[in-house]
Structure 1
C-alpha cells in the first residue's frame, strides 16, 4: 500500500508540474500576442484563437494576414493549398476570404499540433488512498489521453524518471564528541606569527646539543664546552688544528 501511495503521489506531482509548465507557457504567450487582441480589423480575427495556439503559429498567420490585406494584382494566382498542407495553418487566400466575409478564425482552422492543451487539475485526497485511488487513477488516465502526443511523451519520461528514484529521508546529523580537550593554540582567533617571532621560535626549538657534554647551545669543538673532546685535545697538543 505504501508503494501504491508513493506512485500515486508521483503521478500527482508529474501532472502538477505539467500544468505549471502550461501556465508559464500561456502567460509568456499572452505577453507576446497582446497586440493581436486589439479591437482592430486585424485583431478581431484572432479573438477566437487568442491564447489557444502557440506564438509561432500566430506569427505565421499574421504574416499571411499581411499578404491578404495587400491590394490584389490583376493576375491573381490560384491557391494551391501548399501552405495549409505544410504548416496546417490558413493561407493568405483563405484569410482574404475571411476578411471579405467579415469572419473570424476558429480553432478548427488550425491544426491540433499548434493547440495549447490545458490538462485538468487533479486534487486527490491522498489521506484515504484505499477509497480514492481508483478514482485518481481514472482521472490520471483520462487526463493523459487528452494530452497531445508530444506532451504524452514528456509525461511518460517524467514518470519513468520518478519511478526510478528511491525516496530518501533526511536524518539528523550524528554529533561526534572529541575524546581529548582541544589544544590552546588551535582556534579561529589565533594571530599569525610575525617574522621575528617565527625566527625566535625556530631558534628555541632547533638548538643543537653538544656531542661531548650534552648541553645545548654549542658544538663539541667550541671553547664553551666544559668537557673537552679527547680527540681535539690530542690535536691541539700535536700542533694540528
Structure 2
C-alpha cells in the first residue's frame, strides 16, 4: 500500500484515489488469475479421478489435494485411523478420504472441498 501512496503528506482525496486505483488493479489481477485457473487443467492430475473438480477448484487447493493423493497411494493398510484434522483445518480431502475414494472407485467431488475453495460456491451439505 505504501508503494501505491508514495508519500505520507498527500491529502485524503489523493490517498483515496490511489487506494481505489490499487483496489481496481488488484481486482483485475484476481479476475485474470481466476479465469486462467478455470481454463487450465493441471497436467499432473489423474483425468478421471479429478474430472469433477479440475476447473471448479483453484490450483493451490488442487495441488494440495494432489499431494494428499500421493500420500494416499503410499498409505499402508495398517496406517493410523483418520483424525479428520487435516480436512477440518484445510477444507481439502485428506489422504485417508482419498484412499477410501480410490478403493471404492469414486471420484473426488466439489463437495469434498470446503466451499471457500470453489469458484462457484456450493451450498452447504
Please confirm whether the aligned pair reaches a TM-score higher than 0.5, indicating the same fold: yes
Deviation, 1:30, is 4.0
Sort the Cα spacing of 1:46 and 1:29 in 2 relative to 1 into closer, same or farther, 3 A: same
RCO higher in 1 or 2 (8 Å CA, sep ≥ 6)? 2
Q: Distance in 1 between matches of 2:86 and 2:75?
A: 20
Q: How many residues align?
A: 95
Asked which structure has the greater CA Rg, the reply is 1
In the alignment, which residue of structure 2 is the partner of 1:114? Answer: 117
Q: Deviations over 1:123-168 (max 9, x none)?
A: xxxxxxxxxxxxxxxxxxxxxxx8xxxxxxxxxxxxxxxxxxxxxx
Sort the Cα spacing of 1:28 and 1:84 in 2 relative to 1 into closer, same or farther, 3 A: closer
Q: Distance in 2 between matches of 1:19 and 1:112?
A: 22
Q: Deviations over 1:40-73 (max 9, x none)?
A: xx33111000111111100110000001111515
In the alignment, which residue of structure 2 is the partner of 1:66? Answer: 70
Structure 2, unaligned runs of 5 or more: 1-26
**Does 2:42 align with 1:50?**
no
In the alignment, which residue of structure 1 is the partner of 2:104? Answer: 101
Root-mean-square deviation (CA, aligned residues, Å) is: 2.5
Deviation, 1:114, is 0.6
Higher helix proportion = 2
Sort the Cα spacing of 1:24 and 1:76 in 2 relative to 1 into closer, same or farther, 3 A: closer
Q: Distance in 2 between matches of 1:105 and 1:31?
A: 18
Structure 1, unaligned runs of 5 or more: 1-17, 37-41, 118-145, 147-241
What does residue range 4-23 of structure 1 map to in structure 2 within 5 Å?
21-22=30-31
In the alignment, which residue of structure 1 is the partner of 2:43? Answer: 34
Q: Distance in 2 between matches of 1:71 and 1:115?
A: 27
Sort the Cα spacing of 1:28 and 1:85 in 2 relative to 1 into closer, same or farther, 3 A: closer
The TM-score with structure 2 as length reference comes to 0.65
Q: Distance in 1 between matches of 2:116 and 2:30?
A: 17
The TM-score with structure 1 as length reference comes to 0.35
Q: Distance in 2 between matches of 1:61 and 1:49?
A: 11
4+ residue stretches of structure 1 with deviation over 2 A?
18-26, 28-32
**Does 2:89 align with 1:86?**
yes
Sort the Cα spacing of 1:93 and 1:29 in 2 relative to 1 into closer, same or farther, 3 A: same
